[in-house]
Amino acid sequence: MNPFDVKKFFTLDNYEHLKIFKNFKNVYEVISNIDSYLKSLSLGKIEVEIPKNVHLENIEQISIGKGTSVEPFSYIKGPCIIGKNSQIRHGAYIRGNVITGHNAIIGHSTEIKNSILLDNASLAHFAYVGDSIIGNNVNLGAGVKCANFRLDKKNISFFHLGKIYKTNLKKLGAIIGDNSQIGCNSVLNPATFLGKNVIIYSCLNIGNYITEDSIVKPGALPFVKTKGIKNVFDEIKK
């Protein structure tokens, strides 16, 4: 299977916005489809009460599902869709082109733009997520940053197993597979790919492609929990 196939990262059978992932060979290509997908929808359906000191910009392009709580002093810019039974906490900053599934959390001082959250994704404290896709049941610890821009401002490209991939994207953050957990204050460099069930310990700088079921610890090689020892250090350091 193509290592960047959507199915390598996400189970989408019950995801309300499954359509956005259709017809893409590589998962990172979905990032460039967020804007056009949102423009194809009829937005402006807010099914919850909004506190008076929440700022909604482009309100006609914002949809918020039933059961979702939006706390005071959060900022939401359309176009965006917030799923049902989610939490937009005090001080959250949603900058537009954001899609969340149900039961998502965008927490205090968390900033997110041009990204997709699947069901039960949690960005609860002080996170930055740009141009990224966060899988089902993923938790980003406090202070996690998904960097999305090269310092030299060139298009994002990356190596995997000896092959260079040119994305033709100026910005590309992280693709984080279902059930992965990212420890507090870790940084995911542009074009980081984490398979399903990956655990990243706190305060690490991570890049490239980490295969499913891996654990990444400080000062140690990642290993695969269910398949024995596996050295993926060479992939990380590229």
200 band by pLDDT with thresholds 50, 70 and 90: very high
Angle at 148 between CA 142 and CA 153, to 5 degrees: 145
Between CA 180 and CA 200 the distance in angstroms is 8
Q: Write the pLDDT tens digit of every residue in 89-129.
A: 999 999 999 999 999 999 999 999 999 999 999 999 999 99
The CATH number linked to 133 is 2.160.10.10
Q: Which residue has the tokens 């997520």?
A: 129
Domain presence at residue 1: no
For residue 1, what pLDDT is reported? 77
Domain presence at residue 31: yes
With 70 as the cut, is the pLDDT of residue 231 above it?
no
Q: Write the pLDDT tens digit of every residue in 123-162.
A: 999 999 999 999 999 999 999 999 999 999 999 999 999 8
Residues marked as catalytic: 125
Q: What is the pTM of this model?
A: 0.91
Q: Is residue 152 a contact partner of residue 194, using CB atoms and an 8 Å limit?
A: no
For residue 219, what pLDDT is reported? 75
Q: Is residue 62 a contact partner of residue 47, using CB atoms and an 8 Å limit?
A: no
Give the count of domains, the chain.
Answer: 1
Phi then psi dihedrals of residue 52, to 5 deg: -65, -25
Q: Which residue has the tokens 């298009």?
A: 155
Range of the domain at 95: 6-236
For residue 221, what pLDDT is reported? 54
Domain presence at residue 53: yes
